[in-house]
A = this chain, B = another copy of it.
Amino acid sequence: MTTPAFRFTVEHESADCLARTGRLQTRRGEVRTPVYMPVGTAGSVKTLSPDEVRAAGASIILGNTYHLFLRPGTEVLERFGGLHRFMAWDRPLLTDSGGFQVFSLKKLNKITDEGVLFASHLDGARHWLTPEESMRIQRAIGAEIMMVLDECCPYPADETTARQALERSARWAARCRADHPAMREGQALFGIVQGSTFLPLRLESLARTAEVGFDGLAVGGLSVGEPKAEMLRILDGLMPAMPRDLPRYLMGVGSPEDLFYGVERGIDMFDCVLATRIARHGAAFTRRGRIDLTALPWRFSDEPIDSGCRCYACRTFSRGYLRHLFKAKEMLAMRLASLHNITFLITLMEEIREAIPQGRFLALQREFLDGYLKQEDRA
């Protein structure tokens, strides 16, 4: 019997909330869910080697289609046989559609039903991103999981704008599926639920996206500037309607507290650049809140970033040394903080996956947030 190229199995479901555990089987191995996926924007999880990302416990990472299309480009990726081999990452990969970056660009020239005409942030060259082009690029990258091209609606948006984006996203979803039928070249394809902060639109988008038939469903367009309560209100209304048997991915969300909020509502997959981005500026997650490693109080501090953390940075160095490295602008500072922050989120997810089948998820959430948020308020 051969391993299926893609299969998702729900293992445990909580009795007191929507939190659940599962297994995502792919041609490059298994991903236990819920899972936090570190982001390797341009073929590298910033500052880290793939060996370090593996040692941190990452079972799947993200690549950004927009960045990889512009650099190194599909010609290079195809010559190297895809991103896995190019960057020496042998575990599963997920790629976004490129849409989010293109819609965030200042130099967006035109949006039509055909696709998006945009100017590269590198050299100003103009390119069309269409559903079919996104599929083509994502096949060249070769991720286990690809995402449909959707129209990302900025926040705030009025209902008319949100509906238009929803309609276009639905048409593009169908074109992506047509261009990339079930498990073409062993690559799964996820649909994306849009609808901004309008719950009826969200539910309509879910129904129409699910109808197309995908290997997983993502929630897009959240954590784009709306108040946290808005995001949670949408998840509260939307998640109970999600099909049970498909993996559910909350795109671009991944602060420690949001991992809990999402898991509680039935999310299986998360990605976010927050962990590595704030690390490069000296901010580190701890069980007692986020700390600023560049701050004066750590000058003589002999304690690790987080005494419970198993990462190389915490096993080896003091906050005092890390503060020095940041002050001296040594790159090792950014590496160690990045390694710590992704290890922190991955470890947190391991604890969450352990707590769910034991019926302890909500208790773990209370305990964690009690320590984490109180201190963060203070900082």
Contacts and interface: CB of A to CB of B under 8 A. Distances in A.
Interface of A: 42-44, 46-51, 67, 71-72, 76, 79-80, 86-88, 299-300, 302, 312, 316-318, 320-321, 324-325, 327-328, 330-332, 334-336
A331 B330 CA distance: 11
A47 B328 contact: no
Nearest 5 pairs between A and B by C-beta? A72-B324, A42-B328, A47-B331, A44-B332, A44-B330
Contacts of A47: 331-332, 335
Contacts of A50: 316
Given A44-B325, A328-B43, A320 B76 contact: yes
A334 B44 CA distance: 13
User: What's the number of copies of this chain in the assembled complex?
Assistant: 2
A302 B80 contact: yes
Contact of A331 (B46, B300, B317, B336): B46
Contact of A49 (B71, B72, B299, B335): B335
A299 B334 CA distance: 28
Nearest to A45: B332
A88 B302 CA distance: 12
A75 to B, nearest CB: 8
Contacts of A327: 71-72
A302 B299 CA distance: 45
A299 B73 CA distance: 11
Contacts of A72: 299, 320, 324, 327-328
A103 B87 CA distance: 44
Nearest to A338: B331
A320 to B, nearest CB: 6
A129 B318 CA distance: 29
